[in-house]
Amino acid sequence: MARNSKRSIDTMFGGAIAAQEGETIAQLKEEIENLKSRSGQSLLLPVSEIQPLQLPGNLKQPRLYFDPIKMERLKESIQKHGVLEPILVRPRKEGGYETISGERRWRSCCELGKETVPGIVREMSDETALEAALIAHLLNEEITAIEQTESILSLISLHLDTAIVDIKSALYKVNNSHIRGNENSRIFTEEELSAVNNILGEFGMKLSSFVSNRLPMLNLAPEILEAVRAGRISPTNAVLLNRQKPELHSELVEQAEGLTKQDVMVLVKEIAEEHAGGTAPPIVPLSDRVFARIKAIRRKKSLLSSSKAQKKLGQIDRLLEEIEQMGL
């Protein structure tokens, strides 16, 4: 951009940059999806020369949970049929390889004492490796909605080069301003917003549902989170339970297992009422409550003289008048 230019170079290239970024996601996604069918082109890599992906500290890797039961099942399958889908690795400068996709399969092979694992080798920069690892993670059918949400956030953070916390708060703000019908009030630039929508779209999601259904999953209380990871309650139900008081969590988790969303909503209401019941004051007749209120408010002269209060008093007056009429 020259010093007198009206249109900045960022504006000029915004569309091109967004298009390029959208493309890499689609390409990597397709490439990873096609790995299965490319088993013929894979090499047999020595298991001992492979290690997990190593990235500099500023790039956050997808978190992998190695569920022992699932790992056992995977090992059994590998023992029986071998590794059906090649793993994806990148070569290390120092020699050897790092896993991009297929860490579980590689670990299983290690534990089974296999010497080689079929793999496809691709040169990748740290950024591309992370992106590919995140996409591979997202394409894995076994990941939970929480892991998926974390990986999508990391992917957005990588693309917009913004910290995950800032992305989260910006997403909430954008969604709120959409709900209120405001324009995207300069929270994201137009290109950033289109990049976000692009990424979400690639994984079949919309911004509004991502914000209202997915993001709350990341703030779950430890007890609820554990239940979700163990597959005892669904992530949607977890979000419902998480809104309740912490002291009710363990009871709720126990009873919510296997229930539908509607059932959980009923359950939440019941348990909340049950607990409130013990401490609630004895029920006072409605008419007594109204008289007590009027008495209490009578002394607040300045408050009552305000125009807002006057308006409300007018409404009460009319309502009382209606009640009087009923007696006639």
Partner 1 sequence: MANSGGVGKTTLTVNLAYQLALQGKTVAMLGCDPNGSLTLFCGLDDPPPEKTLDYVLRSEFKGDYPLVPVWRNQIDGVDACLGGLPLTATTQRLVLDKRGAYLLADALEDYPLPHDVVLIDCPGTIEQLHVAALSASTSVLITLKPEDKDLDAMAKLLEWISATRSELRLKPAPRVMGVVPNGAKKRAMHRDNLGLSGIDGVIGLPEIMRQMQIQMFPTIKDGAYIANAAAAGLPLGLYRPNDPSNRVYEKIATAITQEIT
Query: Residues in the site for partner 1, rule: CB under 8 A?
Result: 1-5, 7-10, 12-13, 15-17, 19-20, 22-23, 26-27
User: Residue 198 Cβ, how far from partner 1 at the closest point, in Å?
Assistant: 11
Q: Which amino acid is at 210?
A: F
Provide CB contacts within 8 A for 251, sequence distance 6+.
271
The nearest distance, CB 39 to partner 1, in angstroms, is: 18
Q: How far is the CB of 58 from partner 1 (least distance, A)?
A: 17
CB 156 within 8 Å of CB 167: yes
Q: How far is the CB of 205 from partner 1 (least distance, A)?
A: 20
Q: How far apart are alpha carbons 215 and 200 in whole angstroms?
A: 13
CA 230 to chain CA centroid, Å, is 17
- Pick the closest to residue 97 from 50, 47, 54 (CA basis): 50
Nearer to partner 1, 37 or 262 (CB): 37
Which residue, 13 or 65, is less far from partner 1 as judged by CB?
Answer: 13
The least distance separating partner 1 from the CB of residue 138, rounded to whole angstroms, comes to 19
Among residues 72, 106, 70, 71, the alpha carbon closest in space to that of 87 is found at 106
Q: How far is the CB of 247 from partner 1 (least distance, A)?
A: 51
What are all long-range contacts of 233-239, with beta carbons under 8 Å and residues at least 24 apart? Answer: 233/257, 234/261, 235/144, 235/145, 235/146, 236/261, 237/261, 237/264, 239/213
Rounded to the nearest whole angstrom, what is the least distance from the CB of residue 37 to partner 1 in the complex? 13
For partner 1, the closer CB: 19 or 163: 19
By C-beta, is 132 or 240 nearer to partner 1? 132
- What residues have CB less than 8 Å from 327, skipping those under 6 apart? none
Residue length, the chain? Answer: 328
- 3-class secondary structure per residue, 157-174: HHHHCCCHHHHHHHHHHH
Q: Which of 256, 259, 272, 152 is nearest to 213 (CA)?
A: 152
Residue closer to partner 1, measured from CB, 15 or 231:
15
> Is the Cβ of residue 16 or residue 303 nearer to partner 1 in the bound state?
16
Q: Which is nearer to partner 1, 59 or 64 (CB)?
A: 59
